[in-house]
Amino acid sequence: MVIGGGPIAEGKITGLLDSGARVLVVAPDLTPALAELDRRGRFERRARSYRLGDLKGAFLAIAATNDRAVHLRVAAEAKRRNVLLNVVDDVPLCQFIAPSIARRGDLTVAVSTGGAAPVLAVRLRQQIEKLLRPEHARFLEIAAALRQPLAQRYPDFAERRDLWYRLVDSDVLERLGQGDEEGAWRTIAALSGVGAPEASDVGFDSAQPTGSWPAEASAR
């Protein structure tokens, strides 16, 4: 449950929805973006202010209004009902704190200040987001397809770990950033002895290299 419909609540709600949560919003008014999500039925809504008893049945709640009196009442009910509660910018009322999260595909970086300075976490997250590029997400897709064949080819954990470091430190990311997936796979094959998978395995289109999986690389 999210109590509030302003800009801060919007960020909380969209994050919860992206995580697959079933969200109930209690708010008399919504931002335009939240109003659109409401129109599309992305969450349930009680179009009014918080009332005692609203937390019944909730697993987790976030209070994101500008009214501390409301937050105090929410906190009291959450404690009584054993509902996990985060109150925005009011650490003493929180039962948990939320980090600032940067995502790029399956790559997730969380920054937390322990609730001491959330704005610093936001600024650091914004800097980190500049470092996370599409090729990082693409590398993770490829890595997911590589894990099983590399485990079969290199059963020794230490050897396989060292290989992963060599792959990460190679020019694979640079080539992916340039859109040169064929070149990235040449590097992977040269370092690992495993060739490119079939197109369907890691989302290749018809222009991308294909081959048996796993395959013996021509370059060792």
- pLDDT 10s digits, 47-88: 999 999 999 999 999 999 999 999 999 999 999 999 999 999
**Mean pLDDT computed over every residue of the chain:** 90
Mean pLDDT throughout 19-41? 97
pLDDT tens column, 170-219: 999 999 999 999 999 999 999 999 988 764 455 544 333 333 333 333 33
Whole-prediction pTM value?
0.72
Q: Which tops the pLDDT comparison, 215 or 46? A: 46
pLDDT tens per residue, range 103-130? 999 999 999 998 889 899 999 999 999 9
Taking the C-alpha atoms of residue 163 and residue 152, their distance in angstroms, rounded to an integer, is 13
Task: Give the pLDDT confidence score for residue 203 in this predicted structure.
Answer: 52
Read off the pLDDT of residues 146-158 as tens digits, 9 standing for 90 and up. 999 999 999 999 9
pLDDT band at 40 (very low <50, low <70, confident <90, very high): very high
SS3 of the chain: CEECCCHHHHHHHHHHHHCCCCCEEECCCCCHHHHHHHHCCCCEEECCCCCCCCCCCCCEEEECCCCHHHHHHHHHHHHHHCCEEEECCCHHHCCCCCCEEEEECCEEEEECCCCCCHHHHHHHHHHHHHHCCHHHHHHHHHHHHHHHHHHHHCCCHHHHHHHHHHHHHCCHHHHHHCCCHHHHHHHHHHHHCECCCCHHHCCCCCCCCCCCCCCECCCC
- Give residue for tokens 């994101």: 64
